[in-house]
Structure 1
């Protein structure tokens, strides 16, 4: 199932407020509540639309976030990505191109936990040739709307 031109209005509304109800989406589209409900149900069933909950890691006690850019031996890239996907600290792992070919977002309780994660868990993955670690000092935008500055 593909998107229609009319799908842009409810998507724009949902990107601002993922909790928008059918009445608000109907007002944004000019459709009836039942049309909005049917369309969103069809988009969800087809896999085009998914609702995700984005909870700031600090809310769950993970006060240290970091992004890892790694250069991994190409023949082992899938294995390393799969291994990292099993780590509870990892919220995102993605294969990329360029000077690095693997990106990970990690969430740790504190700097000590991040240090242990890097020197014990990641260091044991011997196919990683190089790694750059960038602590997140402040999130300005998460999925959806910008955060207050």
Structure 2
């Protein structure tokens, strides 16, 4: 299990979740901590990969894939899916469908993607794909009470509305914007000067273009961190059934908890899915059985996450080349 971060490191991670590109000086001011200490510790978090800051620009149809794997082939099958560029997250969990992933696929490619490419992954069987119809929370918004609301507001340069599936298709970038986004996918904290050199333009142009991309919600900057290092080692996927007229109310009710990293409505046999991270199994029991949202659910299937091979577009350390 990864080592638990101390209080200041957790708050620095929280600051990077609020704005992955915030300067160390600004983070130090908001956290009321020495700038040199914040810069040293923050750089260490990034250098060691405990926190990874990247840019994401999802486009296409969001699908939730669930499947079973042949005995002994779960990890290689999940790895083959995780390394694909369409995959935003890929998990192995307990339950009858141990392989779970979210992918974004252009609508025109869906038949080829599902019936040829996915069917060709060795070891995967009984694969189903359900379409995400609405997001209530995505991981780029998740901030598990590491900062106060005032601190988060002081750091966040742009509003962080929940992106919706209808808004993720057809992203069109100029050649300069593509170069900027490509560089930020590798390192979301690259300086404006570095981005200018990558895009072959001026620093002022890069600054203006990047601000526009973020403000228009065409690009999101994410700080990816393993929940365990924040004191939340138990992670579970909740597959929730409820009556259709209760879906939105239940989805909004889930948002009252900082334990919820991700919540979405979907087609198929379950109406919602939620990714939750908690301090222990007892907290998971209480969250599922005693929370207000659960009164709106007809049933909940809980699968405990065993391994995250990819989170928010970032591969697990052992899979990075």
Common fold, TM-score beyond 0.5?
yes
Instruction: Quote the Cα distance in structure 2 between the aligned partners of 1:117 and 1:45.
Output: 35
Alignment equivalent of 2:294, drawn from 105, 118, 125: 125
Instruction: Quote the Cα distance in structure 2 between the aligned partners of 1:13 and 1:76.
Output: 42
Between 62-71 and 43-52, report the one with greater CA deviation: 43-52
Deviation at 1:136, TM superposition (A): 1.3
- Name 1:34's counterpart in structure 2: 204
Q: 1:15 to 1:144 in 2, by over 3 A?
A: farther
Alignment equivalent of 1:72, drawn from 235, 242, 250: 242
CA root-mean-square deviation: 2.0
- Name 1:56's counterpart in structure 2: 226
Alignment equivalent of 2:191, drawn from 18, 21, 24: 21
Maintained 8 Å contact 1:15/1:145: no
Provide, for residues 80-124 of structure 1, a one-character-per-residue CA deviation record: whole Å limited to 9, x for no partner. 1111111221111111111111010101101221122122227x6
Alignment equivalent of 1:82, drawn from 252, 269, 274: 252
Tell me, which stretches of 5 or more residues in structure 1 are unaligned? none
Question: Is 2:275 the partner of 1:105?
Answer: yes
Maintained 8 Å contact 1:67/1:136: yes
Instruction: Quote the Cα distance in structure 2 between the aligned partners of 1:42 and 1:127.
Output: 40
Maintained 8 Å contact 2:288/2:294: no
Secondary structure of the 2:257 match is coil
What is the number of residues matched between the two proteins? 148
Maintained 8 Å contact 2:224/2:314: no
Q: 1:91 to 1:145 in 2, by over 3 A?
A: closer
TM-score by length of 1: 0.87
Tell me, which stretches of 5 or more residues in structure 2 are unaligned? 1-170
Instruction: Quote the Cα distance in structure 1 between the aligned partners of 2:270 and 2:210.
Output: 38
Between 40-49 and 104-113, report the one with greater CA deviation: 40-49
Instruction: Quote the Cα distance in structure 2 between the aligned partners of 1:147 and 1:23.
Output: 29
TM-score by length of 2: 0.43
Maintained 8 Å contact 2:240/2:272: yes
Instruction: Quote the Cα distance in structure 2 between the aligned partners of 1:31 and 1:145.
Output: 28
Instruction: Quote the Cα distance in structure 2 between the aligned partners of 1:5 and 1:46.
Output: 18
